[in-house]
Amino acid sequence: MTVNRCTTHGGICRRIWKEGKCVLHPPDTLPNTAGVSHTLHYGVVHDAARKKIVFIDVKEKKVMSTLDNVDCSKPLWPMFGVYNPEWITVSMRLVVGSDINMTEEKKAMIVKALS
């Protein structure tokens, strides 16, 4: 998943990629204006048995994308990166395991996405 400036929509877009190809590029953008800040809350669920990865917008309470037939024969390495720090400031926090506030609504969304 990438979050970056988009020349197509003229704002900041979110995109989901699989095997080097963009599989989701929704037209809803975040403004690309100096001094503006945004808080994004995303969840990533990996189910190796079903070979699926699900991206969830936790703030909007919706599944963004489900990737099927994910090659799980080798370890998957989640990566987070920021570039052009002279133009932007990014603060990230990774929440895993027992620190996740797992509500019934989130559980239901995950079960539905993985089924």
Q: Tell which residue, 53, 74, 78, 75, has the closest CA to residue 65.
A: 53
Residue 35 lies in a domain: yes
Residue 82 lies in a domain: no
Residue 52 lies in a domain: yes
Distance CA 58, CA 54 (A): 12
Which token pair is 19? 């095997």
15-54 confidence digits (pLDDT tens): 888 888 998 898 888 888 888 888 888 888 889 999 999 9
The alpha carbon torsion through 13, 22, 108, 97 (nearest 10 deg) reads: -80
* Rounded average pLDDT over 85-106: 81
Residue 82 has pLDDT above 70, yes or no: no
- Tell me what pLDDT residue 52 has: 92
Distance CA 64, CA 60 (A): 10
- Tell me what pLDDT residue 102 has: 87
Q: Is the pTM of this model over 0.95?
A: no
Domain count, the chain: 1
Residue 109 lies in a domain: yes
Query: DSSP 3-state helix, strand, coil percentages of the chain (rounded to 5)?
Result: 10, 30, 55
Residue 108 has pLDDT above 70, yes or no: yes
Residue 64 lies in a domain: yes
- Tell me what pLDDT residue 58 has: 87
Binned at pLDDT 50, 70 and 90, residue 94 comes out as: confident
- Tell me what pLDDT residue 83 has: 66
Which token pair is 84? 């052009």
Residue 107 lies in a domain: yes
Residue 79 lies in a domain: no
- Domain of 68? 2-73+102-114
- Tell me what pLDDT residue 98 has: 82
Residue 32 lies in a domain: yes
